[in-house]
Structure 1
Amino acid sequence: MEARHKNGFGVVQNGLEERPGDPPATETGPAAEGDTRRPVAQWSVVDVCAWLGRGPLGPPDSPLLEAAHRHAISGKALLRLTEETLERMGIAPKTLCQALLREICHLRLQQEMEELLDIMDNE
């Protein structure tokens, strides 16, 4: 059974917070209970650009979105971005880099939580 409730930041579903700007929910196969979302590492460049365009990091014409498209940043590459990588990509404002890295950290944590919940469900 799917558990959903609101907290101060977003909707919590099965223990995972869904915030504005989260990736599109995509089915990877038949879902036993609710929607199944692809892990960030499986996102395409289009998925990454969609996430950046909807997220709290700026408008759809932001430099982050342009850089992600220009450098073909997939989900796997997104999770590996560092401050140095962003500098080489031409993302200059340090505050923008830090904001993106915070959001990436959130994605990593969310993905790890999903994996842990899957492990617990399979026991």
Structure 2
Amino acid sequence: MMARPKPVYMWTVADTLKWLRRHCSDRCVQYQELFQRNEITGRALLRITDDSLHRMGILDEKDRDDILREIIKQRLKTDIMEIRDMELMNNVYQNCI
């Protein structure tokens, strides 16, 4: 059984930078310094909007779109994991009754 990844809301800035390198295009890796300077943790990553990326200094609209698309995918993965956890806990609870 594979080890479960650390939940996004527990990610450090270093974890977020690793995610950015792994999931965003080579063009977007140039923004690592901005993510670090703004101390973007996993919790902050899940709340980022197009406007916040622009305020961070990511002025290229295509780059913002690329990053935001990956953030949205990550939000969905996080939601799915949480739903599975709730279903699992519900099943455990039902089996105890």
TM superposition score category, shorter chain reference: 0.7 to 0.9
1:41 is displaced (CA, Å) by: 1.1
1:50 corresponding residue in structure 2: 18
Q: What CA deviation, in whole Å up to 9, does each residue of 1:52-111 have, x standing for no partner?
A: 11223226x833211101111100111111111111111011011011111111111101
Distance in 1 (alpha carbons) for counterparts of 2:74 and 2:43 = 11
| Identity across matched positions, percent | 33
Distance in 2 (alpha carbons) for counterparts of 1:53 and 1:114 = 22
1:107 corresponding residue in structure 2: 74
Distance in 1 (alpha carbons) for counterparts of 2:45 and 2:25 = 14
CA RMSD, Structure 1 to Structure 2 (Å)? 1.6
Question: TM-score normalised to the size of structure 2?
Answer: 0.83
2:44 corresponding residue in structure 1: 77
Structure (1 or 2) with the greater helix fraction:
2
Distance in 2 (alpha carbons) for counterparts of 1:65 and 1:107 = 17
Question: TM-score normalised to the size of structure 1?
Answer: 0.67
Counterpart residue type for residue 46 of structure 1: A
* Secondary structure of residue in 1 paired with 2:53: helix
Is it true that 1:35 corresponds to 2:12 in the alignment? no
2:32 corresponding residue in structure 1: 65
Task: Structure 2: give runs of 5+ residues left out of the alignment.
Answer: 92-97
1:39 is displaced (CA, Å) by: 1.3
Distance in 2 (alpha carbons) for counterparts of 1:39 and 1:110 = 10
Larger Rg: 2
Distance in 2 (alpha carbons) for counterparts of 1:51 and 1:109 = 15
Distance in 1 (alpha carbons) for counterparts of 2:19 and 2:55 = 21
How many residues matched?
Answer: 90
Task: Structure 1: give runs of 5+ residues left out of the alignment.
Answer: 1-32
